[in-house]
Amino acid sequence: MNRIRLLTILLLLITSLFLPTSSVLAKKKQATYVVEVAEIEKSANLLKVLKKKGIPAVLFPKNAQVVNEQTNQAVWIGKNVPLNMVKTTLLEAMKIYPYLCYFHVVGDRGEAPPEKVHNTIHIGGSSEAAQAMQLKAFDQTEMIKTLATVTTIEELHRYLHEMNRIPEPAATTKPAPQ
């Protein structure tokens, strides 16, 4: 009986050495967040600054739609990205790109992007797409003030949602019969 018990304990110990612990499993389940920077003027500068601050950032491959800063004034914010990362990224991006003016939480309007998009901030998104979505062009000073005052990511999401709300069409009134 003691031999069986001893062998069972040894077998459990040996197998536990090769099985991931709960902390390893937890790390694997943790989301990884990334900032994608469109390949436009000064993109290397922003990548350098963000990486120095410990924020994972990559250059988004150049495509035909990325022409210059005037066509790429949008920032797409993944809904899962932590507030600290959003604040730091936006503040640094606005220093380098003073023309960024569209800020949108992806999925806020019912869009259903791939899951990884929810863990990404994309700097230099299409201005044309932002305008087609009727997003509000923000004044950067206003955005900087907002970033300084929000304390939760939900608060920032609510603010962006309200500011980007599509205006209701004006009610048409019929002229009174004469």
Which amino acid is it at 43?
A: S
Residues 87-129: tens digit of each pLDDT: 999 999 999 999 999 999 999 988 888 889 999 999 999 999 9
Beta-carbon contacts of residue 77 (< 8 Å; ≥ 6 apart): 86, 103, 104, 105, 106, 121, 160
Taken in order 102, 80, 88, 48, is the CA torsion positive or negative? negative
* Measured distance CA(172)–CA(153) in Å, rounded: 38
pLDDT over 70 percentage in the chain: 73
Highest mean pLDDT pick, 70-79, 104-113, 143-152, 168-177: 143-152
Model pTM?
0.75
> Is 149's pLDDT higher than 60?
yes
Residues 65-96: tens digit of each pLDDT: 565 667 889 999 999 999 999 999 999 999 99
Q: 3-class DSSP state for residue 27?
A: helix
Residue pair 106/77 in contact (Cβ under 8 Å)? The answer is yes
> Is 23's pLDDT higher than 80?
no
Q: Edge-to-edge strand order for the sheet containing 57-60?
A: 57-60, 34-38, 120-125, 74-77, 102-105
Output the pLDDT for position 42: 85
- State the DSSP code for 71: G
* Measured distance CA(160)–CA(90) in Å, rounded: 13
Output the pLDDT for position 19: 43
- State the DSSP code for 110: S
| pLDDT band, residue 24 (cuts 50/70/90) | very low
Taken in order 150, 146, 54, 100, is the CA torsion positive or negative? positive
**What are the C-alpha distances in Å from 115 to residues 63, 76, 79, 104, 119?**
22, 14, 10, 16, 8
Q: If 0-12 CB within 10 Å is exposed, 13-18 middle and 19+ buried, where does residue 21 land? A: exposed
Other residues' Cβ atoms within 10 Å of the Cβ of residue 161: 13
Average pLDDT over residues 22-43: 69
